[in-house]
Amino acid sequence: MENTAALYGLIEPVTRKYFGLEMKAKPAQFSQIADVNDVDEPIRDFVEVGGPGMLSFKAENAAIVAGQIKQGPIKRVQAATFAGAIQISREAVKDVKYKKVVSAATSIGRATRLTPEYLFAQFLDRSFDSNFPVTADGVELCSASHLLPDGVTTVSNILTAAALSESSLEDMLTALRTVPGPDGMLSPEEDKQLIVPSALHNLAEKLNRTPQSLGSNYNDVSVVKGTKVMTFDFLTNQTRWFIQTTNMNGIFWDYRERPEFIRDNVALTLQAVFVAFFRAMWGCEDFRGIFGSNAV
């Protein structure tokens, strides 16, 4: 081993293998909610454009009443870098402490795999916090005050403080159908999945599976049976729940650079250094992509 470069040659296959194995150890949960993309730009801009609204009656030979297309506020999100590193000494390699090397590579693989989950959970945990505006209209993800491009009309995508139950889920599914689009005209949404924290998993599954109303003596039919359940175990808040809609422009997670595991260089330490990192940005273009209940 004539220099540190040779050290990398000895252990890089090992670190790379175990980093990769750990990265694939379990499927990501957040990617079952967010629309995950690979992008070329480190920024993403989005804006709602509304109008012209309903078409007007035009009498014969009369001029058309042209409505106006209105542009709402613009939101920009920027990719952020998240990184960690491991240092492996020449001594450890020469002493054939491969278990230590494997353990280090596995640990950083696990960190790299789980960090997006925690970041995305934090994003959803802040859904009702006005300190964290997410959508282009400058309010939090789930708000009763989403603003349409007309600058006047407010729209809600919350069900205030209703604990998950058959009736609250019914109410939520009804609420989806009453939401207006950017032009103010109705834009009914349909549910894609019910997102719940770990504590609500069992109840959500019961609601999903039972063909009859829970706890009812009258053989009432459950209309929420079959609502797909997505249990997001990384959520901190254990009482809030969400309905993700089939809206195509809802919650996104854009990777500017997918998780990578690369060498780095250090001088005069007889160490091999490996760096794991990713660059990503996330957010919600259209608040109609998710409805939430701020249950406590």
Of residues 72 and 283, the one with the C-beta less far from other proteins: 283
Q: Which is nearer to other proteins, 89 or 168 (CB)?
A: 89
Task: Give whichever of 192 and 240 is closer to other proteins, judged by the CB atom.
Answer: 240
Contact range with other proteins by CB under 8 A, out of 57-65, 144-152, 161-169, 267-275: 267-275
Exactly one of 13, 236, 260, 262 binds other proteins (CB under 8 A); which one?
Answer: 236
Residues 119-178 that bind other proteins (CB under 8 A): 119, 121-122, 125
Is 103 an interacting residue with respect to other proteins (CB under 8 A)? no
- The answer to whether residue 107 forms part of the interface with other proteins (CB under 8 A) is no
Contact flag: residue 266 with other proteins (CB under 8 A): yes
Judged by beta carbon, residue 26 or residue 58, the one nearer other proteins is: 26
* 222 is a site residue for other proteins (CB under 8 A): no
Q: Closest CB to other proteins among 141 and 147?
A: 141
Choose the stretch contacting other proteins; rule: CB under 8 A; options: 39-47, 116-124, 208-216, 221-229.
116-124
277 touches other proteins (CB under 8 A): no
In the complex, what is the shortest distance from the CB of residue 24 to other proteins, in angstroms, rounded to a whole number? 22
Amino acid at site 189: E
SS3 for the chain is: CCCHHHHHHHHHHHHHHHHHHHHCCCCCCHHHCCEEEECCCCEEEEEEEECCCCCCCCCCCCCCCCCCCEEEEEEEEECEEEEEEEEEEHHHHHCCCHHHHHHHHHHHHHHHHHHHHHHHHHHHHCCCCCCCCCCCCCCCCCCCCEECCCCCCEECCEECCCCCCHHHHHHHHHHHCCCECCCCCECCCCEEEEEECHHHHHHHHHHHHCCECCCCCCCCECCCCCCCEEECCCCCCCCCEEEEECCCCCEEEEEEEEEEEEEECCCCCCEEEEEEEEEEEEEECCHHHEEEECCC
Q: Which of 157, 271, 293, 294 binds other proteins (CB under 8 A)?
A: 271
What residues from 3 to 22 belong to the interface with other proteins (CB under 8 A)? none
Q: How far apart are CA 76 and CA 56, in angstroms?
A: 35
Among 87, 153, 178, 198, binds other proteins (CB under 8 A): 87
Q: Is residue 32 at the binding interface for other proteins, with CB under 8 A as the rule?
A: no
Rounded Cα gap, residues 165 and 230, in angstroms: 16
User: Residues 162, 174: contact at Cβ < 8 Å?
Assistant: no
Nearer to other proteins, 125 or 205 (CB): 125
If the CB atoms of residues 91 and 260 are measured against other proteins, the closer one turns out to be 91
Closest distance to other proteins from the beta carbon of 237 (Å): 7
| Sites of contact with other proteins (CB under 8 A) | 87, 115, 118-119, 121-122, 125, 236-237, 266-267, 269, 271, 273
